[in-house]
């Protein structure tokens, strides 16, 4: 028996990274998963690998309300209903606040913050119609504290936590629990842009990343997307049946404080 037997979960940004691992783990735990992303080729390949009875890919730009409606319709067409959502899609831009172009700030808000809002708005009525379920929002370590050069991103992740709390309160009576994951540094293309650069030396960039987090993080390493997926599974399954409205930090102890030695 899997922890998600019979469940249908839509995961945004699931073509790669944490979303991909969430799709793989949820499917292994018995869920049918809707892989929603702008990366059509990668998303299609993952859905094909997991199998037609288990996974479907839908093209979804989370910042567009019409695309959410189409994705929900496609998910219901494939699996009959939706009773879980993981709002995972996100983008990161590095810039000092005073030099951040307005367009860049707005683009980050549109994907990370508006995207999470539209996900809740579009999918919660379906989860209610299915008899209740769960929403997991993806915030960040930077949803709880500041970090230089990621002002737009941190602002949106703080907003995601606000949305999480309001949604939890509004949707509790409809049988929907809403929580958030707050990852620290996780080993995906987002934290290691060199992974997307074919000219970068993979060994060199892996070593540089390992050294950085050995110093920064009490547990001495970067997190793995599979570890965040395990937390998202906990928050999507009945194991967390009395938990709603909460941020869950998964950061190797980074937020706990600094070490002088
Ligand atoms: N990697 C980290 O260290 C870290 C830390 C804290 C929080 N997060 C958050 O975790 C989530 C997943 O990120 P990741 O680390 O897997 O990075 P990633 O870049 O590998 O994955 C992000 C996914 O979101 C998709 N996406 C981007 N814009 C989209 C849009 N408009 N519509 C639909 N999909 C879109 C991308 O195509 C990609 O598949 C993000 O919300 C990110 O902010 C990541």
pLDDT tens sequence for the chain (261 residues)? 999 999 999 999 999 999 999 999 999 999 999 999 999 999 999 999 999 999 999 999 999 999 999 999 999 999 999 999 999 999 999 999 999 999 999 999 999 999 999 999 999 999 999 999 999 999 999 999 999 999 999 999 999 999 999 999 999 999 999 999 999 999 999 987 666 677 888 888 888 888 999 999 999 999 999 999 999 999 999 999 999 999 999 999 999 998 887
Report CA(173)–ligand 1 centroid distance (Å): 30
Which distant-in-sequence residues (6+ apart) come within 8 Å of 137 by Cβ? 87, 116, 120, 160, 161, 163, 164, 178, 179, 180, 181
Model confidence, pTM:
0.97
Q: Kindly give the number of the ligand 1 atom that is closest to the alpha carbon of 43.
A: 39
Report the SS3 class of residue 200: coil
Q: Give buried/exposed letters for 64-96 (b at 16+ CB in 10 A, else e).
A: eeebbeebbebbbebbeebbbbbbbbbbbeebe
From 17, 40, 140, 212, mutation site for ligand 1 pocket: most ligand atoms within 8 A of C-beta:
17
Can you tell me the distance from the alpha carbon of 176 to that of 132, in angstroms, rounded to the nearest whole number?
A: 5
Report CA(138)–ligand 1 centroid distance (Å): 9
213 classed as catalytic: no
Give the dihedral sign, CA 135/138/142/148: negative
- CA angle 105/39/132 to nearest 5° reads 85
Ligand 1 atom 40 nearest Cα: 90
Ligand 1 atom 43 nearest Cα: 90
Report the SS3 class of residue 247: strand
Ligand 1 atom 17 nearest Cα: 190
């Amino acid at each position: 028996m899997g922890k998600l037997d019979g469940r249908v979960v839509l995961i945004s940004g699931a073509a790669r990274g944490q979303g991909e691992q969430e799709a793989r783990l949820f499917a292994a735990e018995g869920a049918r998963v809707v892989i929603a992303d702008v990366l059509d080729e990668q998303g299609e390949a993952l859905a094909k690998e997991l199998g037609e009875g288990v996974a479907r890919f839908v093209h979804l730009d989370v910042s567009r309300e019409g695309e959410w409606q189409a994705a929900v319709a496609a998910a219901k067409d494939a699996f009959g209903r939706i009773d879980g959502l993981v709002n995972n899609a996100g983008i990161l831009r590095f810039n000092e606040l005073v030099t951040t172009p307005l367009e860049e700030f707005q683009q980050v808000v549109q994907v990370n913050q508006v995207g999470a809002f539209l996900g809740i708005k579009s999918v919660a009525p379906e989860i209610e119609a299915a008899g209740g379920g769960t929403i997991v929002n993806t915030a960040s370590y930077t949803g709880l504290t500041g970090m230089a050069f990621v002002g737009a991103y941190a602002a949106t992740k703080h907003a995601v936590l606000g949305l999480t709390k309001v949604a939890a309160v509004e949707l509790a009576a409809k049988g929907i629990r809403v929580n958030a994951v707050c990852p620290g540094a996780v080993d995906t293309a987002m934290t290691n842009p060199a992974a997307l650069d074919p000219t970068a030396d993979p060994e060199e960039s892996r070593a540089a990343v390992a050294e950085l987090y050995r110093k920064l993080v009490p547990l001495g390493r970067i997190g793995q997307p599979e570890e965040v997926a395990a937390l998202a599974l906990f928050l999507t399954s009945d194991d967390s049946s009395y938990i709603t409205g909460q941020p869950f930090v998964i950061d190797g102890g980074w937020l706990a404080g600094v070490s002088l030695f």
